[in-house]
């Protein structure tokens, strides 16, 4: 199978170093349209759809294979190999942040930097850990998806977007959810919300930027602090915005934070 066609890979930009952007649950590569173009002058921008999402090859989605995030990480690595990428920058939103973590652990030479946008290694609360949800909350969420996916989408997207004053953003996210194959979405949701990648974090050796939103119902501020503590070479930036999708709701400050991480201003020495 052509892995580039499978993941609907699109390449643009003029740089020699690549930036690989990967979307979150229920979304597709279009969600990066307000951020990715800002990097095309200096980077080769690579956009893709996770298998099962967007314009990817839906027939390639095997629930048995994609029963954990490692299979998606392998898909990312397949794409990087097909494009002969090394020393690339990985930018992943939400669940794809953890997919990028797994890929970087498996193939450290592929990525020189990780940018994790609104990441969470575990959504469930645990002893000494705040993930944001109790087990009953997640089970209710998944049961509602099973019974009425479109109704669930309409109810949950305002909470995920977090900007009641900007209904067009919520409508876009809801449309993206509704255009996702419901069977695949329900399966991927269970994999996503029941995953636990906390033990993987100390294995990351790639310099990492953690972008945390100040008010995020899916990933509380405590989650960003946990990631920063567990990933040795990491920076934590708390964006002054609400919701779980700063690349859509606050693209300017998202771009600024990523550029500051990738292209730090050199210090001026005094004479």
* Catalytic (active-site) positions: 94, 216, 244
Which residue has tokens 């209904």?
167
For residue 63, with 0-12 CB atoms within 10 Å meaning exposed, 13-18 middle and 19 or more buried, which class applies?
middle
CB-side neighbour CA atoms (13 Å) of 226: 23
Burial code (b: 16+ CB inside 10 Å, e: under 16) for 249-267 equals bbbeebbebbeebbeeeee
Is the distance from CB of 194 to CB of 94 less than 8 angstroms?
A: no
Return the ∠ at Cα 49 (arms to 144 and 168), rounded to 5°: 60
Nearest CA among 240, 116, 243, 257 for reference residue 173: 243
Whether 99 and 204 have beta carbons less than 8 Å apart is answered as no
Q: What is the DSSP letter of 125?
A: -
141 phi/psi in degrees, rounded to 5: -60, -50
Neighbours of 135 (CB within 10 A): 11
CA distance 88 to 95: 19
């Amino acid at each position: 199978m052509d892995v580039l066609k499978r993941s609907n890979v699109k390449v643009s930009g003029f740089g020699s170093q690549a930036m690989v952007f990967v979307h979150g649950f229920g979304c597709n590569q279009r969600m990066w349209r307000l951020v990715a173009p800002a990097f095309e002058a200096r980077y080769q921008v690579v956009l893709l759809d996770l298998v099962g999402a967007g314009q990817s090859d839906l027939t390639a989605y095997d629930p048995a294979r994609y029963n954990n995030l490692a299979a998606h990480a392998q898909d990312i690595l397949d794409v990087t190999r097909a494009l002969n990428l090394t020393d690339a920058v990985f930018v992943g939103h939400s669940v794809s942040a953890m997919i990028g973590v797994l890929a970087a652990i498996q193939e450290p030479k592929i990525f020189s930097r990780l940018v994790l946008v609104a990441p969470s290694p575990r959504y469930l609360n645990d002893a000494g850990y705040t993930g944001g949800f109790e087990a009953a909350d997640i089970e209710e969420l998944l049961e509602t998806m099973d019974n009425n996916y479109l109704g669930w989408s309409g109810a949950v997207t305002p909470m995920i977007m977090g900007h009641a004053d900007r209904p067009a953003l919520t409508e876009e996210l809801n449309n993206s959810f509704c255009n996702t194959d419901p069977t695949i979405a329900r399966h991927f949701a269970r994999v996503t919300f029941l995953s636990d990648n906390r033990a993987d974090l100390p294995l990351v050796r790639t310099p990492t930027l953690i972008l945390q939103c100040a008010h995020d119902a899916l990933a509380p501020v405590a989650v960003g602090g946990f990631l920063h503590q567990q990933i040795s070479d990491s920076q934590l930036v708390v964006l002054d915005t609400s919701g779980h999708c700063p690349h859509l709701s606050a693209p300017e400050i998202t771009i600024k934070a990523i550029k500051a991480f990738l292209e730090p201003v050199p210090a001026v020495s005094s004479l």
